[in-house]
Structure 1
């Protein structure tokens, strides 16, 4: 959840008029005056509420005149637009042939069926790319963290990072690990410098990193350790050591603790035949022995990244150094001049156990940029960003939705606030359509300053992925943050990126053209009436970013990758007229109603989630029933605001049981359904309001925040049965 500070923080300065000075010059014997704003006397920003008081007072007319004057200045001073890197009406290339395969226009050889694998022939592995970054940065800052909320960020520089990583890797060899791509090292930790030190240490000796999810639980972690036969796991703290010890397989011999562990934990480990060693001790051992490095080859495994399936055990996605480098380099090409550079600082808060964060960080390291890690408490993320002042940020829709909802809740209570917000959005959208990206306009200072300050105030690039993002939220974020915001689509099996939107394309509700490391085609799904000849079908991917297979699971690998090497994603896409991909459906999770109609619940959920009253929604049905129902978690801020305006008291739990609240949400959902073209049998016939969000902690979401549909259906079985009993 996004902390309130994002929208509360402010400078507290009083309003002040901007300074203008006249500059005299000679022209044909005559003096002309030009108004020019001084660099050292830029307009001071002021709080929204102070501004509103100013308008509402006796000087209201004067204030409105000031707004008009500022608007005139805004129009006169707007910067020149950026030129798109490709034709926006033809963003991808169609290869000849009946399959209508589409490829990137950012790589000239893609027309010959070739894929990007690297940008520099001497930099083709993650081992080499980190060293290139060290050189590019001239030993600049690399890994940043802070000990407490009151302390500033401190930094490890590149040379020290390389030395410590080499020492730690040498220490792993001392512990009995062979320098080989058949040697697996587990990491079970939140994002921190030691995570990257351990990763780079493994690459120094051709070892393979196996991340363990922070929220998978003992069973899944034990399964992963046993399947990969890991003997050594780098573990964050005492609590995580104990969780691994709960069901530790016999192959687990050593835990390397980043933080101090209790004597009781150390004894418990010894009782189970496991030794706990401190991280710095392994570094000291390695420094003393100084084993020679054994760099990996591009075809070697670099990681086995386990996907969090909604059912059954997780699957181990095998990715090579070439896979990851191809994905990183393809994204770099597509970002053009906005790509990461050595002066950039990236904030790290998305889990390093997932490939989105891993790819983003490796891209920053490759160019010599710096990465600052959040404190570990997502509620303090805004404070971390204010201290770090990042320029690059990977983000997920859940976070951006929270920011959007907070702003909407704030402006909905005031006509003037809403009016100013709409004026600001209109002005910024107008600039976006002309290819202008900035965060220093009049409207940025007046309306969007708090949002920008909550994100550190210096963002220039945001990459959004992992789940669908509503078009209105994407447009809001682009306007409010004032930086390039690109949205991507991908899978762990494709090392993260498959498509990515391009700079200059302001139109939301698509995920861009293919990146240059892969090609994309659509294949028929006749049972759902999707046909490639009509530009719709299952998204299939082929390229240098496609994984090597599932670890020790040939059967599932063959189910996912066909004999021609095409990865079948399970997502349904369609090509837009300008050559971008739009994800419209999901092949899995479909069910048939009693009258024979197919229902795709995720498609319906993506419509209903647009309602301002809905925070989460789970649509379900049965083959013996003729209609569908839904479990809805209301947006607490919006509902409480509505209840206050309508003089309905009570907590969220009380409001969820109130018939007027239920009718309000139901009507709005149905209205959205009609607007988005849902057929009558696709509209829910009843809803149950639940006050507590679905989460990883309560077992209703995967660690990547996808709904666990079987678990949700079982959890809400009584409520679902009750709704159906009233409908029959």
Structure 2
């Protein structure tokens, strides 16, 4: 481990923080939930899709169901800190299951629904999970396949799958068991909540380790209640907000956004279907949404390509409006408002173009929150120009998601903003970002050596990210420490920044992976977005399936043009000298992307190493 230097995060002098919210935070997630129900029992808590319509439930209705499910878990023998896993996509039942675990005194273990059966078995065995909530028959089948490896797994509760009445129960059957327990012991769940302590285990979230085996990050109740209270304390959200939540709840960012409404009291529309995001935004009309950068990149590419396809006056008007919007956004970032001719221009631009773009996102968005990977600054500026602010934030699974975040009135594009109150940051001598605070993990489950390597004796979490803190407390992440590589010429290359820049230049790209460790020049692996490249092909008279299009000379020439543009602003040793365009995209199912759509660099480099190495021969 490197030795920390004394570069502390400066306080954000312009920010008003309600410290009382942090000091008086709930003792546990169970307490937080119960307090929310008591404060606003008849307010809307969740909204979820049933067919083509959306239904809402109040906090008191959520409590009734969650308590019955929690009592059902107690009836099954779930005790304090016993692990209960959830293997499901993002949906209302996920939230109910998690609340039930929290209120029963158990600890939630999260599993992505795309996880293959052997890895599911490893996570369940390593965590010691005694019950699993499984979304459907597909998830249940994985458990049947590995049941012999899971002697400690007592029951499976399925949301939509078939019940056998013995090992596999339906959600309704669990709820009925809980109702019967509460009929004889009405205080069973409240007694479990009363007994919860801040340092009690609340969640184990598994994150990929360098050896390939995932590591279970242990987060206690205090981590979650701190994150919620600290976010509430900076005053960026209120009960009048409406969240749209699609992110994987097995991911720490999604889990954080599920905990936040318990503190702030706003309702959440929940639907994990990525292909429904745009349609749902128009119907739900949320005021904020968290997302991974890929969602913003795709929206930016789609809209700009649509305008380019229109051509003529429409395209010119669109470009003019965005240009005016960018000038106004720059003024507002300085705390100024447009006057005179610029005020007239932005009024016209907004009336003719910009408000129509905002309406595609529901028309009520106050801001987006971007996390889990770096957001391209050109994409961020474009959204800002049309009146859709993206607040980039930063955190790790090991820091329970939110450590830094930009603020609506002090958003600085290209940074991840200020630290949440109560979180400390330092920059080590080698540039690594170190974090300390209530949100930092207890440690890795059953991995004391890995814990000691990541978290030092003084409580500083070594993030593995390289960053810079400016005098005003804004943090800029420049790359992952382990992703840096050295060319054979001895020059260091930061691939993430190059990759993010290219995604802002090329609207047709899906993934751009920079490669070149120990080689004499840098190369890249390129994949193209299926929808974007199909539109491009139509406009260039190219027919055929995806493979035919992306392997065509015209597609390669197009990519080369954008690579040339990229190279103009790179150091000579960073420039992409050669690249290969794959005939297929990277996918979550193939293990090449995480469920939050980040590239698994080690997997990609190993899988396509021969293809990339071939660029250095001949």
Task: Report the equivalent of 1:560.
Answer: 454
Look up the SS of the partner of 2:392 in the other structure: strand
Any unmatched runs of 5+ in structure 2?
Answer: none
CA distance in structure 2 between the aligned counterparts of 1:105 and 1:578, rounded to whole angstroms:
7
Say yes or no: does 1:349 pair with 2:246.
Answer: yes
Task: Report the equivalent of 2:12.
Answer: 105
Selected match of 2:263 from 355, 359, 366: 366
Q: Is the 8 A contact 1:560 1:567 kept in 2?
A: yes
CA distance in structure 1 between the aligned counterparts of 2:11 and 2:257, rounded to whole angstroms:
20
Counterparts of residues 105-124 of structure 1 (less than 5 Å): 105=12, 118-119=21-22, 121=24, 123-124=26-27
CA distance in structure 1 between the aligned counterparts of 2:11 and 2:240, rounded to whole angstroms:
28
Look up the SS of the partner of 1:303 in the other structure: strand
Selected match of 2:152 from 251, 255, 263: 251
CA distance in structure 1 between the aligned counterparts of 2:160 and 2:328, rounded to whole angstroms:
49
Counterparts of residues 611-630 of structure 1 (less than 5 Å): 611-612=505-506, 613-623=508-518, 625-630=519-524
Say yes or no: does 1:457 pair with 2:352.
Answer: no
Selected match of 1:134 from 37, 40, 57: 37
Selected match of 1:467 from 352, 373, 377: 373
CA distance in structure 2 between the aligned counterparts of 1:494 and 1:107, rounded to whole angstroms:
25
Distance 1:598 1:122, change over 3 A: closer
1:441 positional shift: 5.4
After superposition, what is the alpha-carbon deviation per residue over 1:486-518, rounded to whole angstroms, capped at 9, x for unaligned? 110111111111211122335411111211121
Look up the SS of the partner of 2:50 in the other structure: coil
Say yes or no: does 1:330 pair with 2:195.
Answer: no
TM-score between both structures, scaled by the size of structure 1:
0.76
CA distance in structure 1 between the aligned counterparts of 2:15 and 2:550, rounded to whole angstroms:
56
After superposition, what is the alpha-carbon deviation per residue over 1:258-279, rounded to whole angstroms, capped at 9, x for unaligned? 12417xxx4xxx9xxx701111
Distance 1:302 1:117, change over 3 A: farther
Look up the SS of the partner of 2:22 in the other structure: coil
After superposition, what is the alpha-carbon deviation per residue over 1:220-251, rounded to whole angstroms, capped at 9, x for unaligned? 21111101211211111111111222223221
Task: Report the equivalent of 2:551.
Answer: 657
Q: Is the 8 A contact 1:459 1:483 kept in 2?
A: yes
Selected match of 2:425 from 520, 531, 535: 520
TM-score between both structures, scaled by the size of structure 2:
0.89
Q: Is the 8 A contact 2:228 2:259 kept in 1?
A: yes
Task: Report the equivalent of 1:154.
Answer: 55
CA distance in structure 1 between the aligned counterparts of 2:372 and 2:133, rounded to whole angstroms:
26
CA distance in structure 1 between the aligned counterparts of 2:284 and 2:16, rounded to whole angstroms:
40
Q: Is the 8 A contact 1:311 1:710 kept in 2?
A: no
CA distance in structure 1 between the aligned counterparts of 2:324 and 2:571, rounded to whole angstroms:
36
CA distance in structure 2 between the aligned counterparts of 1:385 and 1:547, rounded to whole angstroms:
34
Distance 1:622 1:501, change over 3 A: closer
Task: Report the equivalent of 1:170.
Answer: 71
After superposition, what is the alpha-carbon deviation per residue over 1:380-430, rounded to whole angstroms, capped at 9, x for unaligned? 222223332222211221111111001110122314223222332233334
1:704 positional shift: 2.8
Look up the SS of the partner of 2:419 in the other structure: coil
Q: Is the 8 A contact 1:216 1:703 kept in 2?
A: no
Q: Is the 8 A contact 1:117 1:326 kept in 2?
A: no
Look up the SS of the partner of 1:255 in the other structure: strand
1:104 positional shift: 3.8
Task: Report the equivalent of 2:112.
Answer: 213
Task: Report the equivalent of 1:443.
Answer: 349
CA distance in structure 2 between the aligned counterparts of 1:502 and 1:224, rounded to whole angstroms:
36
CA distance in structure 2 between the aligned counterparts of 1:310 and 1:387, rounded to whole angstroms:
42
Any unmatched runs of 5+ in structure 1?
Answer: 1-96, 526-536
Task: Report the equivalent of 1:496.
Answer: 401
Q: Is the 8 A contact 1:116 1:326 kept in 2?
A: no
Distance 1:217 1:688, change over 3 A: same
Look up the SS of the partner of 1:222 in the other structure: helix
Say yes or no: does 1:302 pair with 2:197.
Answer: no
1:362 positional shift: 1.7
Say yes or no: does 1:377 pair with 2:273.
Answer: yes
Look up the SS of the partner of 1:405 in the other structure: helix
Distance 1:492 1:116, change over 3 A: farther
Query: Which stretch of structure 1 is more off in the superposition, 121-130 or 312-321?
Result: 121-130
CA distance in structure 2 between the aligned counterparts of 1:488 and 1:551, rounded to whole angstroms:
26
After superposition, what is the alpha-carbon deviation per residue over 1:505-554, rounded to whole angstroms, capped at 9, x for unaligned? 354111112111211111122xxxxxxxxxxx111001111111011001
Distance 1:117 1:705, change over 3 A: farther
1:658 positional shift: 3.4
Say yes or no: does 1:610 pair with 2:510.
Answer: no
Task: Report the equivalent of 1:187.
Answer: 86
Distance 1:385 1:633, change over 3 A: same
CA distance in structure 1 between the aligned counterparts of 2:72 and 2:547, rounded to whole angstroms:
54
After superposition, what is the alpha-carbon deviation per residue over 1:447-468, rounded to whole angstroms, capped at 9, x for unaligned? 1344333322222232111111
Task: Report the equivalent of 1:76.
Answer: none
Look up the SS of the partner of 1:669 in the other structure: helix
Task: Report the equivalent of 2:130.
Answer: 231
Look up the SS of the partner of 1:488 in the other structure: strand
Q: Is the 8 A contact 2:406 2:412 kept in 1?
A: no
Q: Is the 8 A contact 1:310 1:707 kept in 2?
A: no
Q: Is the 8 A contact 2:21 2:232 kept in 1?
A: no
CA distance in structure 2 between the aligned counterparts of 1:241 and 1:464, rounded to whole angstroms:
33
CA distance in structure 1 between the aligned counterparts of 2:277 and 2:261, rounded to whole angstroms:
20
Q: Is the 8 A contact 2:376 2:501 kept in 1?
A: no
CA RMSD of aligned residues (A): 2.8
Instruction: Report which of the two structures shows the higher radius of gyration computed on alpha carbons.
Output: 1
Say yes or no: does 1:698 pair with 2:594.
Answer: no
CA distance in structure 1 between the aligned counterparts of 2:442 and 2:378, rounded to whole angstroms:
37
Selected match of 2:478 from 584, 594, 599: 584
Task: Report the equivalent of 2:571.
Answer: 679
1:484 positional shift: 4.5
CA distance in structure 1 between the aligned counterparts of 2:274 and 2:5, rounded to whole angstroms:
49
Look up the SS of the partner of 2:409 in the other structure: coil
Look up the SS of the partner of 1:686 in the other structure: strand
Say yes or no: does 1:386 pair with 2:386.
Answer: no
Counterparts of residues 25-44 of structure 1 (less than 5 Å): none
Task: Report the equivalent of 1:200.
Answer: 99
Query: Which stretch of structure 1 is more off in the superposition, 649-658 or 100-109?
Result: 100-109
Q: Is the 8 A contact 1:218 1:247 kept in 2?
A: yes
Selected match of 2:293 from 397, 402, 427: 397
Distance 1:429 1:621, change over 3 A: closer
CA distance in structure 1 between the aligned counterparts of 2:11 and 2:588, rounded to whole angstroms:
36
CA distance in structure 2 between the aligned counterparts of 1:104 and 1:219, rounded to whole angstroms:
47
Aligned pairs, how many? 593
Task: Report the equivalent of 2:317.
Answer: 420
Task: Report the equivalent of 2:141.
Answer: 242
Look up the SS of the partner of 1:144 in the other structure: strand
1:475 positional shift: 1.9
